[in-house]
Amino acid sequence: FSLFLSFSSDRERQQWFIRQECRLFLYRLDELMRSHPEATGVASEDLPFNQFLQREGLEYDFV
Domain boundaries, given as residue ranges, for the chain: 2-56
H-run or E-run covering 63: none
DSSP state of 40: T
pLDDT tens across 2-15, in order?
A: 666 666 778 887 78
pLDDT of residue 7: 61
Q: How far is CA 9 from the centre of its chain?
A: 26
The CA distance from 16 to 9, in Å, is: 13
Reported as a pLDDT band with limits 50, 70 and 90, residue 45 is low
pLDDT of residue 10: 80
Q: Is the pTM of this model over 0.75?
A: no
Reported as a pLDDT band with limits 50, 70 and 90, residue 40 is very low
The CA distance from 29 to 13, in Å, is: 24
The yes-or-no verdict on residue 29 having pLDDT over 50 is yes
Which one, of 27, 28, 50, lies nearest residue 38 by Cα? Answer: 50
